[in-house]
Amino acid sequence: MIGSRAGGLVASCAALGLLGCTVNYDPNLDQQVTTITQEGDQQLAKWENTLAAGQTIQYDPGSYSKIQGDLQALETRLKNSPDFETRSLAPIVTSQITLWNNIRDTDIKSGFVYDYLTLQGQLFNYNMGLLTLYELSLKSGASTGSAGGAVSAAQSAGPALSPKPGS
C-alpha cells in the first residue's frame, strides 16, 4: 500500500521547490514494470482461455519462475532506489509476489477455477496499473521538468490491493 506520507512529501517538495527533493524518471524501471505486466497478462490469459475451452491446466513450475524472478528483481530495485517516493512502492510488488505464490499454491493443491483466475488477474492488473501510473507521471514530469505529484497521482488512483497470504 502506498503510504500517505510519500504523496505528501512529493506535494510538499513540488510546492516548496526544494532542491534535492526530486524524483527522477527511470526508463529501466519503466521497462521492468511494462514487461512484468505483459508477462503476467499473457500467462493469465493463456490459463483462462484453456479453462474456458473446458480443458484442465497441468501444473508447470516454469509458468511461475520467470515472473516471480522478475517481480523479485523489481522489488529489490524499488527497495534500493535513492528516492523515498520510489522506495515507498515496494510493498505493491511484495503483494504481487504474494499473489503469484498464492496462484502457484492453488495450482499445486487443487487446480484452477476460471473465476479464481479472473479475480487474480484483476488484482494483478490493478496493482501493476498503480506502478504504471507512477512511471507515467514521472515520465511526464521528466519531459516538463517537474516530477512532483507522481506518488500523489498513484495514490489518488486508490490503495494497492493485497492478497491474503495462502488464500
Each residue's pLDDT tens digit, 99-148: 999 999 999 998 888 999 999 999 999 999 999 999 988 888 765 544 44
Taking the domains of the chain in order of start, what are their residue ranges? Answer: 4-156
Does this model's pTM top 0.85? My answer is no
pLDDT for residue 23 is more than 50: yes
Q: What's the 3-state SS for the chain? A: CCCHHHHHHHHHHHHHCCCCCCCCCCHHHHHHHHHHHHHHHHHHHHHHHHHHCCCCCCCCCHHHHHHHHHHHHHHHHHHCCCCHHHHCCHHHHHHHHHHHHHHHHHHHHCCCCHHHHHHHHHHHHHHHHHHHHHHHHHHHHHHHCCCCCHHHHHHHCCCCCCCCCCC
Tell me the pLDDT band of 64, cut-offs 50, 70 and 90. Answer: very high
